[in-house]
């Protein structure tokens, strides 16, 4: 990357600088002996040409829109289109959520993102004993397609893309979306969006669990196949690192486990469905965390692009560059926010959002300041959305593509993260793949170790969180608290009962039977799910079929 | 006479899958010399109380971040009472808003550990407030 003359000059100047540092530090020690990222990667006092001298410009850095896409997938960058302002949102009833969605759209968000409540996420209806006390508290309650229709009322499905954070019941909620589009006269080839639908990371981190790993992956392959054939603008998986990071993983672990999960899905679809990688890979998408250590996150996202491009072309022999692109959504880190002095969270979210943009994200959710305490109030969510809009329109960072390219530090850190990620990927390969690694508890234990280490560091003040272990105050800051009360559950149960009373139960039973047969025969369940949701089958009724055929998976409680 | 170790059941009631805190506590308790049984996620109050009695624990720690603690935590203490096991100390943690605290204490919880509580402070509280049951 540099001529021998420059490297010689640099060597001389660096030596002089090192002597100067030694002299100063002898009199004034550094504030602390070690300086690391939040993930414990040790960072040097200074980076220079010698840290990246072995890089090959064309092979390792290059240009946006060219392999290996370090600098971005698109030649035009954000000048062509800003990242999508996509706020994760869901609360109480479908009607309340619909209201919030219209508020967000009017406030300038450009994509939708659905947060479901725990009963829906876990495939239970609101009237299940397991759902008691949970209705609407963490997201929107959806039991049948009637709730879903209320949720999307007034939303132009052909014009706006919708992401749905849903995992074991993904086939069902996607079926509701597809059926709703059809019922509105919109073709499946017109709708766009994403279903999270990434079960591997559930076993590793998020823990919305239902069936064991193999049938869970089978259902995912069903959606990929169905999307490839009929819903071409839909991302059928959002291969996620966000939750892996929230569970306590380091940045390298987040990067490695996410990408290795992606590889596992690619291999499964090829093997199980006989598809060629380029038939479906362009519609795989990813979802990363943007945590508090600014440069570590930027380096992580850049490394992710380069690793995925290499994996697709070299490991899977992909020929289509659209398969080589890593397209991702990012969410700022919930676990970096504090309950103490919650207004500080506005700053944390802002810098994390900026890191995601400098990392080239395609889509972004910014957490609200009250994220640690409750669902976002209207005021808090507005600040979070404005954060993105200010970054886009005022900061100037969208003027130019990948502005940090060529930085000695950022390129060196990007390289280091890629190298360490590949180490993990190879290790998991040697274990027999990600499903095998999960069965051994490998990623789960890595995460547990990292989470415990971090907590001990905080308790020992080795890592600082303002308001938690430094600059603490006794005053309690009162912030508006969005409450979901018990009437939500009561009303939702009444709505569900009304649907059950009016529907043709024989037809529902037939539809459920068809799903069961499809599962037993290994057929694609999607067409049968669409029929079933139209017949007013509930989320739980269909999930119970999956539980019946595939068995239930119990969290082994690894710690 | 040597006292046996304090036995703790750490449980995740309800559908909430956010287990980072519970797992960190399980490790801390183990390192602190307590005996820990961690249930994993998705336990019903019945399952938790069943495990607590079967494992003959001295304390049950409940972790919930989904907002369903208002129903779930009192459900556990109620069942323990019905089983004549009110001497099992019950504590909680997770996302428990200030305005719910009194209801938790009224339901029988002896402590609710809020964000910022260090691992040592929780272990110290246990050493002070939890005895091995007769």
Tokens representing A471 are: 């600059």
The answer to whether B14 and B68 are in contact (CB under 8 A) is yes
Task: Indicate yes or no: CB of A133 within 8 angstroms of CB of B120.
Answer: no
pLDDT of residue A382: 98
Task: Indicate yes or no: CB of B120 within 8 angstroms of CB of A459.
Answer: yes
Q: Which residue of A has its CA nearest to B117?
A: A459
Tokens representing A60 are: 């390792």
Tokens representing A152 are: 């999307």
- Using CB atoms, which residue from B20, B26, B95 is nearest to A248? B20
Burial class (CB in 10 A: 0-12, 13-18, 19+), A264: buried
Q: What share of chain A is helix, strand, coil (3-state, %, to 5)?
A: 55, 10, 40
Specify the 3-state DSSP secondary structure of A436: helix
The DSSP-derived string for A440-492 is HTHHHHHHHHHHHHHHHHHHTTSS--BTTTBS--SPPPP---B---HHHHHHH
With a CB cutoff of 8 Å and minimum separation 6, the contacts of B91 are: B59, B60, B61, B62, B109, B110, B111, B112, B113
Q: What share of chain B is helix, strand, coil (3-state, %, to 5)?
A: 40, 20, 40
Same-domain status, A70 and A48 = no
Question: Domain for residue A474, yes or no?
Answer: no
CATH of the domain at A272: 3.20.20.240
- Cβ atoms within 10 A of the Cβ of A146, count? 18
The dihedral formed by the CA atoms of A269, A270, A274 and A280, expressed in degrees to the nearest 10: 70
pLDDT of residue A481: 85
Q: How far is CA A426 from CA A263, A302, A373, A418, A541, in A?
A: 12, 20, 39, 12, 41
Q: Give backbone dihedrals phi and psi of A440, rounded to 5 degrees, phi first.
A: -85, -10
pLDDT of residue A351: 98
Helix and strand element counts for chain A (H, E): 21, 9
Q: Is the pLDDT of residue A216 over 80?
A: yes
Please state, in angstroms and rounded to a whole number, the distance separating the CA atoms of residues A442 and A556: 13
pLDDT of residue A476: 83
Same-domain status, A85 and A210 = yes
pLDDT of residue B3: 75
Please state, in angstroms and rounded to a whole number, the distance separating the CA atoms of residues A43 and A417: 12
Half-sphere exposure of B76 (CA within 13 A, CB side): 36
pLDDT tens digits for range A535-546? 999 999 999 999
Q: Is the pLDDT of residue A235 over 90?
A: yes
Radius of gyration of chain B (CA): 13
Average pLDDT over residues B24-35: 98
Mean pLDDT of chain A: 97
Average pLDDT over residues A80-104: 98
Half-sphere exposure of A202 (CA within 13 A, CB side): 29
Task: Indicate yes or no: CB of A555 within 8 angstroms of CB of B40.
Answer: yes
H or E segment and range at residue A389: helix A378-393
Task: Indicate yes or no: CB of A554 within 8 angstroms of CB of B97.
Answer: no
Q: Which residue of A has its CA nearest to B99?
A: A481
Q: Of A203, A300, A197, A302, which is closest to residue A256 (Cα–Cα)?
A: A300
Same-domain status, A74 and A184 = yes
Q: Give backbone dihedrals phi and psi of A191, rounded to 5 degrees, phi first.
A: -85, 145
Task: Indicate yes or no: CB of A557 within 8 angstroms of CB of B68.
Answer: no
pLDDT tens digits for range A162-194? 999 999 999 999 999 999 999 999 999 999 999
Q: Is the pLDDT of residue A201 over 70?
A: yes
Task: Indicate yes or no: CB of A118 within 8 angstroms of CB of B16.
Answer: yes
Residues of chain A with C-beta less than 8 angstroms from the C-beta of B23: 448, 451-452, 558-559
Average pLDDT over residues A55-67: 98
Q: How far is CA A555 from CA A125, A306, A414, A549, A558, in A?
A: 21, 34, 35, 19, 8
pLDDT of residue A483: 87
Tell whether B71 is within 8 A of chain A (Cβ): yes
Q: Which residue of A has its CA nearest to B118?
A: A459
pLDDT tens digits for range A243-279? 999 999 999 999 999 999 999 999 999 999 999 999 9
pLDDT tens digits for range A100-130? 999 999 999 999 999 999 999 999 999 999 9
Task: Indicate yes or no: CB of A209 within 8 angstroms of CB of B17.
Answer: yes
Task: Indicate yes or no: CB of A133 within 8 angstroms of CB of B70.
Answer: yes
Strand blocks (E) in A359-461 = 363-365
Please state, in angstroms and rounded to a whole number, the distance separating the CA atoms of residues A531 and A350: 44
- Selected residues 208-247 of chain A with any CB under 8 Å from a CB in chain B: 208-209, 246-247
Please state, in angstroms and rounded to a whole number, the distance separating the CA atoms of residues B62 and B92: 5
Which class does domain B7-129 fall in? alpha beta
Q: Is the pLDDT of residue B1 over 60?
A: no
Task: Indicate yes or no: CB of B20 within 8 angstroms of CB of A247.
Answer: yes
pLDDT tens digits for range B62-113? 999 999 999 999 999 999 999 999 999 999 999 999 999 999 999 999 999 9
pLDDT band at A516 (very low <50, low <70, confident <90, very high): very high
pLDDT of residue A477: 82
Same-domain status, A128 and A104 = yes
Residues of chain A with C-beta less than 8 angstroms from the C-beta of B71: 132-133
Same-domain status, A107 and A225 = yes
State the pTM of this model: 0.97
* Domain that includes residue A110, residue range: 62-459
ipTM: 0.97
Same-domain status, A51 and A73 = no
Q: Is the pLDDT of residue A39 over 90?
A: yes
Q: Which residue of B has its CA nearest to A138?
A: B66
pLDDT of residue A194: 98
The answer to whether A300 and A287 are in contact (CB under 8 A) is no
Strand partners, A286: A239, A328
Same-domain status, A166 and A223 = yes
Q: Is the pLDDT of residue B61 over 70?
A: yes
Please give the tally of structural domains in chain A. 3
Please state, in angstroms and rounded to a whole number, the distance separating the CA atoms of residues B112 and A523: 49
Specify the 3-state DSSP secondary structure of A287: strand
With a CB cutoff of 8 Å and minimum separation 6, the contacts of A357 are: A78, A83, A364, A391, A392, A397, A398
Cis peptide before A68 (omega within 30 of 0): yes
Return the number of CB contacts < 8 Å for A and B: 105
Residues of chain A with C-beta less than 8 angstroms from the C-beta of B119: 455-456, 459
Q: Is the pLDDT of residue A316 over 60?
A: yes
Tell whether A479 is within 8 A of chain B (Cβ): no
Average pLDDT over residues A391-417: 98
Please state, in angstroms and rounded to a whole number, the distance separating the CA atoms of residues A559 and A441: 9
Strand blocks (E) in A300-359 = 328-332
Least confident of A36-45, A147-156, A380-389, A481-490: A481-490
Domain limits, chain B:
7-129
Q: Is the pLDDT of residue A292 over 80?
A: yes
Same-domain status, A410 and A500 = no
Q: Is the pLDDT of residue B34 over 90?
A: yes
Please state, in angstroms and rounded to a whole number, the distance separating the CA atoms of residues A515 and A509: 10
Same-domain status, A39 and A155 = no
Question: Domain for residue A528, yes or no?
Answer: yes
Tell whether B98 is within 8 A of chain A (Cβ): yes
Please state, in angstroms and rounded to a whole number, the distance separating the CA atoms of residues A469 and A456: 12
The answer to whether A334 and A115 are in contact (CB under 8 A) is no
The answer to whether A207 and A243 are in contact (CB under 8 A) is no
Sheet bearing B89-94, strands edge to edge: B35-38, B7-11, B59-64, B89-94, B111-113
Q: Give backbone dihedrals phi and psi of A328, rounded to 5 degrees, phi first.
A: -140, 150
Tokens representing A497 are: 């009962």
Q: Is the pLDDT of residue B2 over 70?
A: no
Q: Is the pLDDT of residue A485 over 90?
A: no
pLDDT tens digits for range A440-471? 999 999 999 999 999 999 999 999 999 999 99
H or E segment and range at residue A546: helix A539-550
Q: Is the pLDDT of residue A232 over 60?
A: yes
Tell whether B24 is within 8 A of chain A (Cβ): yes
Residues of chain A with C-beta less than 8 angstroms from the C-beta of B28: 452, 455
pLDDT of residue A482: 87
Task: Indicate yes or no: CB of A455 within 8 angstroms of CB of B116.
Answer: no
Same-domain status, A333 and A234 = yes
pLDDT tens digits for range A331-374? 999 999 999 999 999 999 999 999 999 999 999 999 999 999 99
- Please name the residue ranges forming H helices in A200-342: 200-201, 213-230, 242-246, 251-273, 277-280, 294-310, 321-324
pLDDT of residue A480: 85
Mutate to test the interface with B, among A92, A121, A137, A370 (most CBs of B within 10 A): A137
Mutate to test the interface with B, among A123, A341, A452 (most CBs of B within 10 A): A452
pLDDT band at A404 (very low <50, low <70, confident <90, very high): very high
Task: Indicate yes or no: CB of B17 within 8 angstroms of CB of A208.
Answer: yes
pLDDT of residue B134: 77
- Using CB atoms, which residue from B15, B38, B40 is nearest to A130? B15
């Amino acid at each position: 990357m540099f001529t021998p003359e420059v490297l010689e000059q640099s060597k001389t100047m660096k030596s002089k600088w090192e002597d100067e540092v030694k002299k100063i530090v002898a009199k004034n020690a550094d504030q602390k002996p070690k300086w690391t990222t939040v993930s414990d990667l040790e960072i040097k006092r200074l980076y220079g040409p010698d840290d990246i001298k072995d890089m090959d410009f064309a092979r390792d850095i290059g240009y946006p829109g060219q392999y290996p896409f370090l600098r971005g997938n698109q030649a035009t960058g954000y000048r062509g289109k800003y990242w999508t302002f996509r706020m994760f949102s869901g609360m109480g009833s479908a009607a309340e959520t619909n209201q919030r969605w219209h508020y967000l759209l009017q406030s300038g968000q450009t994509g939708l993102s659905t947060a479901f409540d725990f009963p829906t996420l876990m495939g239970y209806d609101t009237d299940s004993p397991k759902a008691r006390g949970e209705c609407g508290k963490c997201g929107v309650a959806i039991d049948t397609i009637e709730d879903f229709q209320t949720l999307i009322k007034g939303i132009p499905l052909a014009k706006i893309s919708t992401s749905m954070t849903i995992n074991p019941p993904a086939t069902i909620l996607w079926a509701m979306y597809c059926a709703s589009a059809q019922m509105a006269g919109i073709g499946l080839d017109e709708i766009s969006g994403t279903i999270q639908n990434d079960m591997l990371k559930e076993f590793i981190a998020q823990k919305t669990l239902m069936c064991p790993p193999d049938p869970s992956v089978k259902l995912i392959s069903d959606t990929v196949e169905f999307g490839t054939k009929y819903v071409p603008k839909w991302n059928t998986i959002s291969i996620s690192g966000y939750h892996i990071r929230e569970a306590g993983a380091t940045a390298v672990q987040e990067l490695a486990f996410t990408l290795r999960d992606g590889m596992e899905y690619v291999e499964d679809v090829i093997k199980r469905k006989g598809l060629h990688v380029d038939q479906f890979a362009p519609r795989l998408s990813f979802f990363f965390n943007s945590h508090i250590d600014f440069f570590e996150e930027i380096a992580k996202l850049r490394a992710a692009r380069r690793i995925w491009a290499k994996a697709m072309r070299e490991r899977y022999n992909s020929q289509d560059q659209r398969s080589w692109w890593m397209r991702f959504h990012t969410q700022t880190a919930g676990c970096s926010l504090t309950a103490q002095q919650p207004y500080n969270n506005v700053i944390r979210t802002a810098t994390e959002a900026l890191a995601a943009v400098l990392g080239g994200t395609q889509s972004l959710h910014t957490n609200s300041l009250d994220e640690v305490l409750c669902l976002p109030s209207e005021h808090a969510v507005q600040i979070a959305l404005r954060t993105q809009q200010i970054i886009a329109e005022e900061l100037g960072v969208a003027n130019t593509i990948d502005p940090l390219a060529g930085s000695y530090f950022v390129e060196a850190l990007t390289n280091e993260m890629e190298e360490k990620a590949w180490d993990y990927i190879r290790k998991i390969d040697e274990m027999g793949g990600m499903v095998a690694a999960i069965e051994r508890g490998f990623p789960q234990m890595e995460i547990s170790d990292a989470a415990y280490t971090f907590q001990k560091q905080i308790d020992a003040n080795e890592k600082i969180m303002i308001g938690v272990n430094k600059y603490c105050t006794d005053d309690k800051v009162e912030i508006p608290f969005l409450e979901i009360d018990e009437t939500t559950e009561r009303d939702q149960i009444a709505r569900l009962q009304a649907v059950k009373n009016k529907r043709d139960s024989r037809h529902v039973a037939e539809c459920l039977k068809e799903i069961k047969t499809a599962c037993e025969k290994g057929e694609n369940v999607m067409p049968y799910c669409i029929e079933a949701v139209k017949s007013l089958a509930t989320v739980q009724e269909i999930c119970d079929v999956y539980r019946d055929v595939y068995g239930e998976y119990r969290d082994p409680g690894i710690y | 006479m040597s006292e046996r170790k304090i036995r703790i059941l750490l449980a995740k009631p309800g559908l909430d899958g956010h287990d980072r805190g519970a797992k960190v506590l399980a490790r801390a308790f183990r390192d602190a010399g307590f005996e820990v049984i961690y249930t994993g996620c998705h336990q019903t109050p019945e399952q938790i109380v069943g495990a607590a009695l079967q494992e003959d624990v001295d304390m049950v720690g409940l972790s919930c971040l989904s907002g369903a603690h208002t129903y779930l935590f009192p459900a556990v203490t109620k069942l323990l009472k019905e089983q004549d096991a009110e001497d099992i100390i019950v504590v909680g943690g997770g996302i428990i808003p200030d305005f719910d605290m009194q209801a938790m204490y009224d339901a029988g919880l002896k402590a609710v550990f809020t964000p910022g509580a260090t691992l040592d402070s929780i272990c110290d509280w246990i050493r002070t407030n939890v005895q091995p049951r007769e």
